[in-house]
Every structure is written in C-alpha cells, then in structure tokens.
Amino acid sequence: MEIKCHKVASGRASGPALVTKDAISFLGNVDPETGMVVDPAHELFGQCIAGKVLVFPGGKGSTVGSYVIYQLKKRDLAPVAMINIRSEPIVAVGAIISGIPLVDRVAEKVLRLKSGTLIEVDADRGLVRIFGAD
C-alpha cells in the first residue's frame, strides 16, 4: 500500500515501524546514549527507537530535542526515518540536521499500524510504502 505524504527532510529509508499515539519530546523522553525511551509515562517506555521507522503524531518540549536527534544519529541510535501527522519545528529541524528522512501530513490511520510492520519512507517522492498491508 502506498500513502501520499509531504516531505519535511529529504531521503529514503525503510525499516520496521515503531508506532505511538503519544507526542515525543526527544529531550527527556529518549536517552541519547542508548536510544531507549526512558519516560515511564510514555507509551513507548522501555523500547528502543534505533533503526526503526518512528511513527508519531509530532514533537513537543524543548528545542534542545533537535540536537538530541543529531546525537542519536551520530551514535547510530536514531530512527532510520520518521513519520508525523504534523511536524513541528523541533523534530523537523532535528531530522534535517541529522539527515533522517521525515514526512508528515499523512492520514491518521498510520497511527493504528502495528509496530513491526515493514515501512519505506521515500521523502523525495512524497510517498510512504507499507508492506504486507494490501
């Protein structure tokens, strides 16, 4: 299945989805040394975002979150791609400075995808491909 989307940060990557309906504050919610979600109040608590296609509504919290995304990327602990319902500046800037493909303006049904579903994000063509969901 292919879904149209809007490119925020360029690039193309695929991986298993990690899906949450909670917004993410990269400063505070995610440990930059391990890529683990460390906020017990977050739906993804205890999960690792490294290598995943991270699907979440959008970012929140401190603007330092942009730099945390960059730090994760340098340690090979970042998501391979990200999908938002609506990107805000913290995640948008974080993805761009880190070279992580990011798209938004997708239908909310992507938040109901099962974690683990294989997804490809092709930001340059404005497409999300969901495998095994036809």
Cβ atoms 99, 73 nearer than 8 A: yes
**Which CB sits closer to other proteins, 4 or 112?**
4
Residue with tokens 């099962």: 114
Closest CA to 104 of 21, 1, 9, 34: 9
Q: State yes or no: is 62 an active-site residue.
A: yes
Contacting residues toward other proteins, per CB under 8 A: 6-12, 32, 63-64, 66-68, 70-71, 74, 87-90, 92-93, 96-97, 99, 123-126
Minimum distance, C-beta of residue 78 to other proteins, in the bound complex (Å): 12
Among the listed residues 10, 14, 62, 115, the single catalytic one is 62
For helices 65-74 and 89-98, the axis angle rounded to 10 degrees is: 30
Considering only the C-alpha atoms of the chain, give the largest distance between any 2 of them, rounded to a whole number of Å: 39
Minimum distance, C-beta of residue 111 to other proteins, in the bound complex (Å): 19
Minimum distance, C-beta of residue 115 to other proteins, in the bound complex (Å): 26
Catalytic (active-site) positions: 62
